Amino acid sequence: MNNFDFQLLGEFRNKMYESLLYKDDLTKPTAREIQWKNSRLANVKGFTFKKDNVLYLLDMNLFDKLPIRVVKTDQRITVNGDIVEYITKLKSFNVIPEQVMTFRNLISVDIIKHSSPLDWMLWKIVVWTARISRVNARVSSKREFGKTSYINVVHHLVDKAYVTPQPKSKPGIFIYVTNDGLVAYDEMGKIKSEIKQEIGSTLFQFGDMSNILSLGTAGSAAHNTKARIPIENCSCICLYNRLQDYQEEKDFFDFMFSNKSAINNRFLPLKPTGGAIDINQFLKKGTLTPEIEKLYIGIMKTFEYYNQNWKRMVDYDLVDGQLKQYTSVTGRQRISLRNIMCFIQLWSDGNAEEFKCMCDRLMSWNKNYMDMVGQNENQYKNGVLTEDVK
Protein backbone atom coordinates (compact mmCIF):
# COMPACT_ATOMS: atom_id res chain seq x y z
CA MET A 1 0.00 0.00 0.00
CA ASN A 2 1.20 3.53 -0.77
CA ASN A 3 1.30 5.40 2.53
CA PHE A 4 1.44 8.68 0.61
CA ASP A 5 -1.82 8.67 -1.32
CA PHE A 6 -3.66 11.96 -1.45
CA GLN A 7 -6.56 10.82 0.72
CA LEU A 8 -4.20 9.95 3.58
CA LEU A 9 -2.19 13.12 3.08
CA GLY A 10 -5.32 15.25 2.83
CA GLU A 11 -6.78 13.80 6.01
CA PHE A 12 -3.53 14.50 7.84
CA ARG A 13 -3.30 18.03 6.45
CA ASN A 14 -6.87 18.86 7.48
CA LYS A 15 -6.17 17.63 10.97
CA MET A 16 -2.81 19.38 11.31
CA TYR A 17 -2.97 22.64 9.34
CA GLU A 18 -6.45 23.74 8.27
CA SER A 19 -7.25 25.54 11.53
CA LEU A 20 -3.85 27.27 11.80
CA LEU A 21 -3.25 30.99 11.47
CA TYR A 22 0.21 32.35 10.63
CA LYS A 23 1.63 35.85 10.51
CA ASP A 24 1.34 35.46 6.72
CA ASP A 25 -2.45 35.57 7.16
CA LEU A 26 -2.38 39.06 8.69
CA THR A 27 -4.42 41.64 6.80
CA LYS A 28 -2.39 44.49 8.33
CA PRO A 29 0.90 44.49 10.25
CA THR A 30 -0.48 46.66 13.08
CA ALA A 31 -3.22 46.16 15.65
CA ARG A 32 -6.36 48.22 15.43
CA GLU A 33 -9.38 48.82 17.63
CA ILE A 34 -12.55 47.08 16.49
CA GLN A 35 -15.99 48.40 17.39
CA TRP A 36 -19.01 46.11 17.27
CA LYS A 37 -22.47 46.70 15.90
CA ASN A 38 -23.75 45.44 19.23
CA SER A 39 -22.79 48.41 21.43
CA ARG A 40 -23.00 46.27 24.58
CA LEU A 41 -19.84 44.43 23.50
CA ALA A 42 -16.55 46.03 24.56
CA ASN A 43 -14.18 47.21 21.84
CA VAL A 44 -11.28 44.90 21.10
CA LYS A 45 -7.83 46.01 20.02
CA GLY A 46 -6.27 43.26 18.01
CA PHE A 47 -4.91 41.88 14.76
CA THR A 48 -7.09 40.77 11.88
CA PHE A 49 -6.34 37.71 9.76
CA LYS A 50 -7.95 36.37 6.63
CA LYS A 51 -7.90 32.72 5.66
CA ASP A 52 -10.17 30.91 3.22
CA ASN A 53 -12.26 34.10 2.94
CA VAL A 54 -12.94 34.12 6.70
CA LEU A 55 -11.95 37.19 8.73
CA TYR A 56 -10.52 36.47 12.21
CA LEU A 57 -9.69 38.80 15.09
CA LEU A 58 -6.98 37.99 17.64
CA ASP A 59 -6.53 40.02 20.81
CA MET A 60 -3.26 41.95 20.53
CA ASN A 61 -1.99 40.45 23.80
CA LEU A 62 -2.00 36.99 22.20
CA PHE A 63 0.04 37.90 19.14
CA ASP A 64 3.21 36.27 20.47
CA LYS A 65 1.41 32.90 20.50
CA LEU A 66 1.48 32.71 16.68
CA PRO A 67 1.19 30.46 14.84
CA ILE A 68 -2.02 29.39 16.54
CA ARG A 69 -4.68 26.76 16.12
CA VAL A 70 -8.15 28.29 16.26
CA VAL A 71 -10.23 26.21 18.66
CA LYS A 72 -13.30 28.37 19.25
CA THR A 73 -14.64 31.66 17.92
CA ASP A 74 -17.48 34.06 18.58
CA GLN A 75 -19.00 35.41 15.37
CA ARG A 76 -19.56 39.15 15.58
CA ILE A 77 -20.44 42.05 13.29
CA THR A 78 -18.41 45.25 13.26
CA VAL A 79 -19.92 48.73 13.04
CA ASN A 80 -18.89 48.67 9.37
CA GLY A 81 -20.91 45.52 8.77
CA ASP A 82 -17.96 43.07 8.48
CA ILE A 83 -18.50 39.57 9.83
CA VAL A 84 -15.61 38.67 12.12
CA GLU A 85 -14.71 35.46 13.93
CA TYR A 86 -13.38 36.71 17.26
CA ILE A 87 -10.99 34.06 18.58
CA THR A 88 -11.98 33.07 22.11
CA LYS A 89 -10.00 29.84 22.45
CA LEU A 90 -6.72 28.86 20.81
CA LYS A 91 -3.67 26.67 21.05
CA SER A 92 -0.16 27.79 20.18
CA PHE A 93 1.30 25.58 17.43
CA ASN A 94 4.94 24.61 17.48
CA VAL A 95 6.74 21.73 15.77
CA ILE A 96 9.63 20.58 17.95
CA PRO A 97 12.66 20.05 15.70
CA GLU A 98 14.07 16.53 15.88
CA GLN A 99 16.25 14.56 13.48
CA VAL A 100 13.92 11.58 13.39
CA MET A 101 15.55 10.61 10.10
CA THR A 102 18.48 11.76 7.99
CA PHE A 103 17.89 14.00 4.99
CA ARG A 104 18.60 11.00 2.78
CA ASN A 105 15.89 9.03 4.56
CA LEU A 106 13.52 11.99 4.30
CA ILE A 107 13.93 11.86 0.53
CA SER A 108 13.49 8.09 0.38
CA VAL A 109 10.84 7.47 3.03
CA ASP A 110 7.93 7.33 0.56
CA ILE A 111 7.40 4.48 -1.89
CA ILE A 112 6.21 6.64 -4.77
CA LYS A 113 7.16 4.93 -8.01
CA HIS A 114 8.59 6.68 -11.07
CA SER A 115 9.89 5.26 -14.34
CA SER A 116 13.14 7.24 -13.89
CA PRO A 117 14.01 6.79 -10.18
CA LEU A 118 17.19 8.87 -10.25
CA ASP A 119 15.48 11.85 -11.90
CA TRP A 120 12.61 11.52 -9.44
CA MET A 121 15.06 11.42 -6.52
CA LEU A 122 16.71 14.59 -7.77
CA TRP A 123 13.35 16.31 -8.23
CA LYS A 124 12.45 15.51 -4.62
CA ILE A 125 15.75 17.03 -3.47
CA VAL A 126 14.98 20.18 -5.50
CA VAL A 127 11.50 20.47 -3.95
CA TRP A 128 12.74 20.06 -0.36
CA THR A 129 15.55 22.52 -1.04
CA ALA A 130 13.01 25.06 -2.26
CA ARG A 131 10.80 24.50 0.78
CA ILE A 132 13.63 24.78 3.32
CA SER A 133 16.03 27.16 1.60
CA ARG A 134 15.52 29.62 -1.26
CA VAL A 135 15.41 28.63 -4.91
CA ASN A 136 14.24 30.42 -8.04
CA ALA A 137 13.92 28.02 -10.96
CA ARG A 138 12.08 27.53 -14.21
CA VAL A 139 11.34 23.88 -14.99
CA SER A 140 10.23 22.42 -18.30
CA SER A 141 9.29 18.78 -18.81
CA LYS A 142 6.77 16.56 -20.47
CA ARG A 143 3.40 16.49 -18.73
CA GLU A 144 3.80 12.99 -17.36
CA PHE A 145 6.96 13.68 -15.36
CA GLY A 146 4.95 14.61 -12.25
CA LYS A 147 6.33 18.07 -11.48
CA THR A 148 3.46 19.10 -9.21
CA SER A 149 2.78 15.74 -7.58
CA TYR A 150 5.65 15.81 -5.12
CA ILE A 151 5.19 19.50 -4.34
CA ASN A 152 1.65 18.60 -3.31
CA VAL A 153 2.98 15.79 -1.11
CA VAL A 154 5.33 18.20 0.67
CA HIS A 155 2.52 20.73 1.07
CA HIS A 156 0.29 18.18 2.77
CA LEU A 157 3.08 17.15 5.14
CA VAL A 158 4.69 20.45 6.17
CA ASP A 159 2.44 23.16 4.68
CA LYS A 160 3.41 26.23 2.62
CA ALA A 161 4.41 24.42 -0.58
CA TYR A 162 1.70 25.78 -2.83
CA VAL A 163 1.02 24.80 -6.41
CA THR A 164 -0.74 27.76 -7.99
CA PRO A 165 -2.46 27.12 -11.33
CA GLN A 166 -1.69 29.68 -13.99
CA PRO A 167 -2.83 33.03 -12.53
CA LYS A 168 -5.89 34.43 -14.28
CA SER A 169 -6.11 37.66 -12.26
CA LYS A 170 -3.77 40.00 -10.39
CA PRO A 171 -4.79 38.77 -6.89
CA GLY A 172 -4.30 35.21 -8.11
CA ILE A 173 -0.58 35.85 -8.46
CA PHE A 174 -0.10 36.53 -4.76
CA ILE A 175 -2.69 34.36 -3.02
CA TYR A 176 -0.18 31.75 -1.83
CA VAL A 177 2.96 33.87 -1.44
CA THR A 178 4.36 33.60 2.10
CA ASN A 179 7.46 34.79 3.89
CA ASP A 180 8.87 31.28 4.31
CA GLY A 181 7.63 28.73 1.84
CA LEU A 182 7.45 27.66 -1.77
CA VAL A 183 5.11 28.98 -4.41
CA ALA A 184 5.10 26.96 -7.64
CA TYR A 185 3.33 28.57 -10.58
CA ASP A 186 2.02 25.77 -12.79
CA GLU A 187 1.10 25.84 -16.48
CA MET A 188 3.11 28.98 -17.10
CA GLY A 189 2.48 29.11 -20.82
CA LYS A 190 -0.02 31.07 -22.93
CA ILE A 191 -0.50 33.67 -20.19
CA LYS A 192 -3.15 36.31 -20.89
CA SER A 193 -1.65 39.54 -22.18
CA GLU A 194 -3.50 41.69 -19.62
CA ILE A 195 -1.72 40.01 -16.72
CA LYS A 196 1.73 39.43 -18.19
CA GLN A 197 3.18 42.69 -16.91
CA GLU A 198 2.14 42.00 -13.31
CA ILE A 199 3.46 38.43 -13.41
CA GLY A 200 6.67 39.64 -15.03
CA SER A 201 7.17 42.20 -12.26
CA THR A 202 6.51 39.56 -9.60
CA LEU A 203 8.97 37.08 -11.09
CA PHE A 204 11.61 39.79 -11.48
CA GLN A 205 11.38 40.57 -7.76
CA PHE A 206 11.51 36.90 -6.77
CA GLY A 207 14.46 36.33 -9.08
CA ASP A 208 16.22 39.38 -7.69
CA MET A 209 16.24 37.65 -4.28
CA SER A 210 14.27 40.58 -2.88
CA ASN A 211 13.13 40.41 0.74
CA ILE A 212 9.93 42.32 0.01
CA LEU A 213 7.50 41.71 -2.84
CA SER A 214 5.74 44.88 -3.97
CA LEU A 215 2.32 44.16 -5.45
CA GLY A 216 2.06 47.35 -7.46
CA THR A 217 -1.46 47.99 -8.78
CA ALA A 218 -2.61 44.58 -7.49
CA GLY A 219 -1.96 45.63 -3.90
CA SER A 220 -5.11 47.49 -3.00
CA ALA A 221 -8.23 47.35 -0.90
CA ALA A 222 -10.22 46.75 -4.10
CA HIS A 223 -8.29 43.53 -4.69
CA ASN A 224 -8.30 42.70 -0.97
CA THR A 225 -4.50 42.27 -1.06
CA LYS A 226 -1.55 43.82 0.74
CA ALA A 227 0.72 46.37 -0.88
CA ARG A 228 3.90 44.55 0.19
CA ILE A 229 4.61 40.94 1.22
CA PRO A 230 7.78 39.79 3.03
CA ILE A 231 9.48 36.98 1.05
CA GLU A 232 12.80 36.62 2.88
CA ASN A 233 12.80 32.83 2.59
CA CYS A 234 10.21 32.18 -0.11
CA SER A 235 11.12 30.14 -3.18
CA CYS A 236 9.51 30.51 -6.59
CA ILE A 237 9.41 27.75 -9.20
CA CYS A 238 7.75 28.18 -12.60
CA LEU A 239 6.48 24.97 -14.22
CA TYR A 240 5.47 24.34 -17.81
CA ASN A 241 5.71 21.92 -20.73
CA ARG A 242 8.49 21.52 -23.28
CA LEU A 243 9.16 23.97 -26.07
CA GLN A 244 7.84 21.56 -28.70
CA ASP A 245 4.53 21.31 -26.84
CA TYR A 246 3.63 24.89 -27.80
CA GLN A 247 2.48 25.92 -31.25
CA GLU A 248 3.90 29.43 -31.03
CA GLU A 249 7.20 30.67 -29.62
CA LYS A 250 5.55 33.51 -27.71
CA ASP A 251 3.59 31.01 -25.61
CA PHE A 252 6.74 29.44 -24.14
CA PHE A 253 7.94 30.88 -20.82
CA ASP A 254 11.35 32.11 -22.01
CA PHE A 255 9.79 34.31 -24.71
CA MET A 256 6.60 35.57 -23.03
CA PHE A 257 7.64 38.63 -21.07
CA SER A 258 8.79 42.08 -22.12
CA ASN A 259 11.58 41.80 -19.54
CA LYS A 260 12.25 38.16 -20.50
CA SER A 261 16.05 38.42 -20.40
CA ALA A 262 16.03 39.80 -16.86
CA ILE A 263 13.64 37.08 -15.67
CA ASN A 264 15.42 34.24 -17.46
CA ASN A 265 18.78 35.34 -16.08
CA ARG A 266 17.39 35.13 -12.54
CA PHE A 267 15.65 31.74 -12.74
CA LEU A 268 17.75 28.57 -12.93
CA PRO A 269 16.60 26.61 -16.04
CA LEU A 270 16.03 22.88 -15.52
CA LYS A 271 14.66 20.19 -17.80
CA PRO A 272 14.50 16.71 -16.22
CA THR A 273 15.94 14.01 -18.44
CA GLY A 274 12.73 12.03 -18.67
CA GLY A 275 10.48 9.47 -17.08
CA ALA A 276 6.86 9.46 -16.03
CA ILE A 277 4.81 8.96 -12.90
CA ASP A 278 1.65 6.88 -12.56
CA ILE A 279 -0.79 9.29 -10.94
CA ASN A 280 -3.09 6.41 -9.98
CA GLN A 281 -0.80 5.50 -7.08
CA PHE A 282 -1.88 8.73 -5.37
CA LEU A 283 -5.58 7.93 -5.79
CA LYS A 284 -5.71 4.71 -3.79
CA LYS A 285 -7.66 5.11 -0.58
CA GLY A 286 -5.77 4.18 2.55
CA THR A 287 -6.53 4.66 6.23
CA LEU A 288 -4.72 7.16 8.44
CA THR A 289 -3.54 4.76 11.11
CA PRO A 290 -1.58 5.85 14.22
CA GLU A 291 1.54 4.35 12.60
CA ILE A 292 1.16 6.42 9.43
CA GLU A 293 0.40 9.56 11.44
CA LYS A 294 3.55 8.92 13.49
CA LEU A 295 5.52 8.65 10.24
CA TYR A 296 4.10 11.95 8.99
CA ILE A 297 4.84 13.71 12.28
CA GLY A 298 8.39 12.34 12.10
CA ILE A 299 8.71 14.00 8.70
CA MET A 300 7.40 17.28 10.17
CA LYS A 301 9.94 17.17 13.00
CA THR A 302 12.78 16.26 10.63
CA PHE A 303 11.80 19.07 8.27
CA GLU A 304 11.87 21.56 11.14
CA TYR A 305 15.24 20.22 12.25
CA TYR A 306 16.79 20.82 8.84
CA ASN A 307 14.89 24.07 8.48
CA GLN A 308 16.71 25.39 11.54
CA ASN A 309 20.06 23.64 11.23
CA TRP A 310 20.93 22.90 7.58
CA LYS A 311 23.35 25.80 7.16
CA ARG A 312 25.72 24.49 9.81
CA MET A 313 25.51 20.89 8.53
CA VAL A 314 26.71 21.43 4.95
CA ASP A 315 30.25 20.61 3.82
CA TYR A 316 30.80 23.89 2.00
CA ASP A 317 34.32 23.00 0.90
CA LEU A 318 32.93 20.03 -1.03
CA VAL A 319 30.00 22.03 -2.42
CA ASP A 320 32.04 25.03 -3.54
CA GLY A 321 34.79 22.86 -4.95
CA GLN A 322 32.24 21.14 -7.18
CA LEU A 323 30.47 24.40 -7.98
CA LYS A 324 33.66 25.84 -9.47
CA GLN A 325 33.40 23.27 -12.25
CA TYR A 326 29.99 24.57 -13.38
CA THR A 327 30.93 27.82 -15.06
CA SER A 328 27.98 27.84 -17.46
CA VAL A 329 25.60 28.91 -14.67
CA THR A 330 26.21 32.52 -13.67
CA GLY A 331 24.70 35.44 -11.79
CA ARG A 332 21.70 34.95 -9.54
CA GLN A 333 21.03 31.51 -11.04
CA ARG A 334 24.20 30.41 -9.26
CA ILE A 335 22.63 31.14 -5.85
CA SER A 336 19.82 28.67 -6.54
CA LEU A 337 22.24 26.13 -8.00
CA ARG A 338 24.47 26.30 -4.93
CA ASN A 339 21.54 25.90 -2.54
CA ILE A 340 20.36 22.78 -4.35
CA MET A 341 23.91 21.42 -4.30
CA CYS A 342 24.05 21.98 -0.54
CA PHE A 343 21.05 19.69 -0.09
CA ILE A 344 22.48 17.16 -2.54
CA GLN A 345 25.51 17.09 -0.24
CA LEU A 346 23.24 16.46 2.77
CA TRP A 347 21.46 13.72 0.81
CA SER A 348 24.76 12.08 -0.17
CA ASP A 349 25.50 11.64 3.52
CA GLY A 350 29.28 11.82 3.14
CA ASN A 351 29.54 9.87 -0.12
CA ALA A 352 31.57 12.24 -2.33
CA GLU A 353 31.07 10.12 -5.45
CA GLU A 354 27.29 10.11 -5.10
CA PHE A 355 27.38 13.83 -4.45
CA LYS A 356 29.31 14.50 -7.65
CA CYS A 357 27.12 12.17 -9.74
CA MET A 358 23.90 13.82 -8.56
CA CYS A 359 25.32 17.31 -9.07
CA ASP A 360 26.36 16.34 -12.59
CA ARG A 361 22.84 15.09 -13.20
CA LEU A 362 21.45 18.40 -12.01
CA MET A 363 23.73 20.15 -14.49
CA SER A 364 22.56 17.77 -17.22
CA TRP A 365 19.05 19.07 -16.54
CA ASN A 366 20.38 22.57 -17.04
CA LYS A 367 22.07 21.55 -20.29
CA ASN A 368 18.88 19.81 -21.48
CA TYR A 369 17.02 23.08 -21.06
CA MET A 370 19.63 25.25 -22.74
CA ASP A 371 19.92 22.81 -25.64
CA MET A 372 16.13 22.94 -26.02
CA VAL A 373 15.89 26.74 -26.22
CA GLY A 374 19.16 26.95 -28.15
CA GLN A 375 17.49 25.03 -30.98
CA ASN A 376 14.76 27.62 -31.12
CA GLU A 377 15.86 29.31 -34.35
CA ASN A 378 15.83 26.00 -36.21
CA GLN A 379 12.44 24.97 -34.88
CA TYR A 380 10.42 28.08 -35.69
CA LYS A 381 9.61 29.91 -38.85
CA ASN A 382 7.48 33.04 -38.52
CA GLY A 383 6.60 32.05 -34.96
CA VAL A 384 5.03 28.69 -35.91
CA LEU A 385 6.44 25.35 -34.90
CA THR A 386 7.67 23.50 -37.98
CA GLU A 387 9.53 20.55 -36.53
CA ASP A 388 8.99 18.29 -33.55
CA VAL A 389 12.35 17.91 -31.84
CA LYS A 390 12.64 14.65 -29.91
Indicate the number of domains in the chain: 2
Mean pLDDT for 186-202 is: 89
Mean pLDDT for 243-255 is: 92
Q: For residue 6, is it within any domain?
A: no
Residues comprising the chain, all counted: 390
Last residue of a domain, one of 72, 92, 112: 92
What percentage of the chain reaches a pLDDT higher than 90? 79
pLDDT at res. 215: 83
Instruction: Considering only residues 35 and 381, tell me which one the structure prediction assigns the higher pLDDT.
Output: 35
Residues 164 and 286 in one domain: yes
Residues 243 and 221 in one domain: yes
Q: Is the pLDDT of residue 385 over 80?
A: no
pLDDT at res. 99: 98
Q: For residue 10, is it within any domain?
A: no
Q: For residue 203, is it within any domain?
A: yes
Mean pLDDT for 351-369 is: 97
Q: For residue 260, is it within any domain?
A: yes
Residues 81 and 146 in one domain: no
pLDDT at res. 377: 40
Q: For residue 5, is it within any domain?
A: no
Residues 169 and 22 in one domain: no
Residues 202 and 304 in one domain: yes
Give the tens place of pLDDT for each residue, 208-231. 999 999 886 555 444 445 678 999
Q: Is the pLDDT of residue 390 over 80?
A: no
Residues 77 and 117 in one domain: no
Average pLDDT for the chain:
90
Mean pLDDT for 5-25 is: 94
Q: Which domain holds residue 351?
A: 96-390
Last residue of a domain, one of 56, 75, 92: 92
What percentage of the chain reaches a pLDDT higher than 70? 93
Instruction: Considering only residues 321 and 194, tell me which one the structure prediction assigns the higher pLDDT.
Output: 321
Residues 110 and 85 in one domain: no
Task: Give 274's pLDDT tier (boundaries 50, 70, 90).
Answer: confident
Residues 300 and 276 in one domain: yes
Mean pLDDT for 258-266 is: 93
Q: For residue 47, is it within any domain?
A: yes
Q: Is the pLDDT of residue 236 over 70?
A: yes
CATH code: domain of residue 178: 3.40.50
Q: For residue 2, is it within any domain?
A: no
pLDDT at res. 168: 82
pLDDT at res. 172: 83
Residues 143 and 78 in one domain: no
Q: Is the pTM of this model over 0.85?
A: yes
Residues 227 and 317 in one domain: yes
Task: Give 277's pLDDT tier (boundaries 50, 70, 90).
Answer: very high
Q: For residue 75, is it within any domain?
A: yes
Residues 170 and 73 in one domain: no
Residues 116 and 56 in one domain: no
Last residue of a domain, one of 58, 76, 92: 92
